[in-house]
Amino acid sequence: MNWRTLALTLGLAALLYGSFRAFGWWGFSLVSSGIIFWLLQHVTRLMKTMESAAERPMGTLDNAVMFHAQLHPGQRLLTVIGLARSLGQLQSAHNQQPEIFVWQDPANDKVECEFEQGRLVRYELKRHTAASEGDGGT
C-alpha cells in the first residue's frame, strides 16, 4: 500500500466520521452517497477506456509520433491506454516492475513506455528506417 492509497483511505474515513459527528446519520449517508458516486465515476471511466481498447488489436496505434507527443512522465497507465485506444504489447515479465509496453503504428514506428507502479517514467519513440533497395536511394 503506497502513501496515496493510505492518505485517501484515511481522508475518506475522517470525512465520514466528521459528517457523522456534525450531522448524525443524515450527514453520514450524504457523504457516503458522494463517495459512492465518485467511485462509480471512476469505474465508468475505466469501463469506457477498456471497451474502446477492446475494439482494436493489441499494441496498435494510428500514428506513433502523435501518440509520443501526448505522453508525459507521471501519466497513469489507464490514461496512456486511453490515448492509444488499445492495450500495449507487454515486453517485460508478467507482474515484474518496471512494466514495459510497446505500441506500433502501420508505418512500423514504435513507442516504448516504461511504467513504475502504474505511472509512466520513461517513453521512447523508435522510428522505422526502411532499407533502401536498388540504387542506394538516389
DSSP secondary structure of 75-89: -BHHHHHHHHTSPPE
Whether the per-residue pLDDT at 59 is higher than 60: the answer is yes
Average confidence score pLDDT of the chain: 90
The answer to whether the CB of 71 falls within 8 A of the CB of 65 is no
Q: Where in the chain is the domain with CATH 3.30.1450.10?
A: 56-126
The answer to whether the CB of 67 falls within 8 A of the CB of 111 is yes
What is the dotted CATH code of the domain comprising 56-126?
3.30.1450.10
- Residues 7 and 98: their CA atoms lie apart, in Å, by 24
Q: What is the reported pLDDT for 132?
A: 46
67-118 pLDDT per residue, tens? 999 999 999 999 999 999 999 999 988 888 899 999 999 999 999 999 998 8
73-83 pLDDT per residue, tens? 999 999 999 99
**Taking the model in full, what pTM does it have?**
0.78
